[in-house]
Amino acid sequence: MSGNSIGQNFVVTTFGESHGVALGCIIDGCPPGLELTEADMQHDLDRRRPGTSRYTTARREPDEVRILSGVFEGKTTGTSIGLIIENTDQRSQDYSNIKDLFRPGHADYTYQQKYGLRDYRGGGRSSARETAMRVAAGAVAKKYLKAVHGIEIYGFLSQLGPIEAEQIDREQIEQNAFFFPDASKLEALDEYMRELKKSGDSIGAKVSVIATNVPVGLGEPVFDRLDADIAHALMGINAVKGVEIGDGFAVVTQKGSEHRDLMSPEGFASNHAGGVLGGISSGQPIVAHMALKPTSSISIPGESMTVQGNTAEVITKGRHDPCVGIRAVPIAEAMLAIVLMDHLLRHRAQNQNVHSQTPVLGMRS
């Protein structure tokens, strides 16, 4: 495998820099016979796009994806699917002043050290722009999971700075610019963001992603456990510093008698486990959370250095996200879809002849 690929049987490989010619990816392993058009992917790409709210970045990328192969007469053929998004709005001049600068909190320094050179425009390959292809590929996985297995995946902003969602109302998520599920806190959120933008600073966020109707049995212990692969996929999203499954870090102070999800022929009594038990899906909703750090591209000056080793001051002018967490919601959904898709195929490979002797607790196996 290579660093720009993820998955074993459903493999997504991406390329593309922030200010390069194009972004693209190859999906390999998508089963044949799935109906697929650009529109299936464009919806999630639009949700991810900056400029869809007054608080996120102002860069206007149409992000139009094109299918280059792997689909014939509207259906996937089982061969590799090539996707492309041409870069149009690059505004190189916004970044020319940082050619020799290491912006603190960004990957400039580490990329330079690792490779010896880097495309400094907009962060090059380290830019979140690259995630557009993950969202496109994730949309393909989402479609298959939904159509063939009834699996649904949705994400939302569960916390922005100090403001936590207390009610989770799925209907609310697409009704506001924040993917925020608690209508009662929207005004506070709006106010907070306005103040933040004025201050020129940024804030962290917590994003949650849920998958329902997942069959029991997905996950390949002991190393490719479903939760381990979910952690890998989510921690791999730009700005993520923490991943939780189910109750996450709350388990540190839980007693065994509180944490365990009791079972009966009617089903599970609770879901502290977040849908994964022993690294394998239990049939319960899969629940994961990610912590996203605040962006370092802010207008408050910070101390840094140049490639030549001199001190310098860094201020980011122009476009930036005061809260990158907002845009991570569709990316998290996409990554969860990609992981579930891969595990679905891996489970299918090995377990054709399983004769389940256990009660199904009301869920499909």
Binding residues for FMN: 125-127, 238-239, 278, 293-297, 319
DSSP 8: S
| Count of residues interacting with a copy of itself (CB under 8 A) | 167
Distance CA 226, CA 211 (A): 13
Residue type, 258: E
Residue (of 179, 283, 184, 275) closest to 227 by Cα position: 275
CB of 152 to a copy of itself, least distance (A): 19
Helix (H) or strand (E) holding 326: helix 325-350
Q: Is 278 in the site for a copy of itself (CB under 8 A)?
A: yes
Q: Which is nearer to a copy of itself, 23 or 171 (CB)?
A: 23
Please select the residue that binds a copy of itself; options are 176, 259, 285, 319, rule is CB under 8 A. Answer: 259
Binders of a copy of itself among residues 164 to 193 (CB under 8 A) are: none
Give the sheet arrangement for strand 311-314, strand by strand: 101-102, 302-306, 311-314
Q: Is 44 in the site for a copy of itself (CB under 8 A)?
A: no
Please select the residue that binds a copy of itself; options are 152, 197, 235, 271, rule is CB under 8 A. Answer: 235
Residue (of 157, 240, 215) closest to 340 by Cα position: 215
Backbone angles phi, psi at 359, to 5 degrees: -65, 145
- Cα–Cα distance list, 126 to 105, 108, 236 (Å): 12, 8, 11
Binders of a copy of itself among residues 100 to 119 (CB under 8 A) are: 102, 104-119
22-30, 37-45, 166-174, 177-185 -> range binding a copy of itself (CB under 8 A): 22-30
Distance CA 307, CA 290 (A): 33
Q: Which is nearer to a copy of itself, 93 or 171 (CB)?
A: 93
Q: Which is nearer to a copy of itself, 184 or 362 (CB)?
A: 362
* Residue tagged 């090539």 (tokens): 82
Q: Is 150 in the site for a copy of itself (CB under 8 A)?
A: no
Give the pair of three-digit tokens for residue 323.
């809260």
CB of 168 to a copy of itself, least distance (A): 17
Q: Is 197 in the site for a copy of itself (CB under 8 A)?
A: no
Q: Is 241 in the site for a copy of itself (CB under 8 A)?
A: yes
Distance CA 207, CA 289 (A): 6
Distance CA 149, CA 263 (A): 24
CB of 185 to a copy of itself, least distance (A): 15
Q: Is 330 in the site for a copy of itself (CB under 8 A)?
A: no
Total residue length of the chain = 365
Q: Summarize the annotated binding site for NADP(+) as residue ranges.
A: 48, 54
Please select the residue that binds a copy of itself; options are 44, 61, 182, 220, rule is CB under 8 A. Answer: 220
42-50, 61-69, 135-143, 180-188 -> range binding a copy of itself (CB under 8 A): 61-69
CB of 30 to a copy of itself, least distance (A): 8
36-44, 62-70, 170-178, 183-191 -> range binding a copy of itself (CB under 8 A): 62-70
Q: Is 92 in the site for a copy of itself (CB under 8 A)?
A: no
Give the pair of three-digit tokens for residue 185.
């806190």
Q: Is 75 in the site for a copy of itself (CB under 8 A)?
A: yes
Q: Is 257 in the site for a copy of itself (CB under 8 A)?
A: yes
Give the pair of three-digit tokens for residue 33.
């016979």
CB of 124 to a copy of itself, least distance (A): 7
135-143, 167-175, 183-191, 217-225 -> range binding a copy of itself (CB under 8 A): 217-225
- Cα–Cα distance list, 17 to 56, 121, 244 (Å): 20, 9, 29
Give the pair of three-digit tokens for residue 215.
């069959």
Beta-strand relationship, 302-306 and 311-314: antiparallel
CB 158 within 8 A of CB 206: yes
Please select the residue that binds a copy of itself; options are 20, 50, 181, 330, rule is CB under 8 A. Answer: 20
Q: What is the 3-state secondary structure (H, E, C) of 306-324?
A: ECCCCEEEECCCCCCCCCC
Please select the residue that binds a copy of itself; options are 58, 168, 188, 263, rule is CB under 8 A. Answer: 263
Q: Is 38 in the site for a copy of itself (CB under 8 A)?
A: no
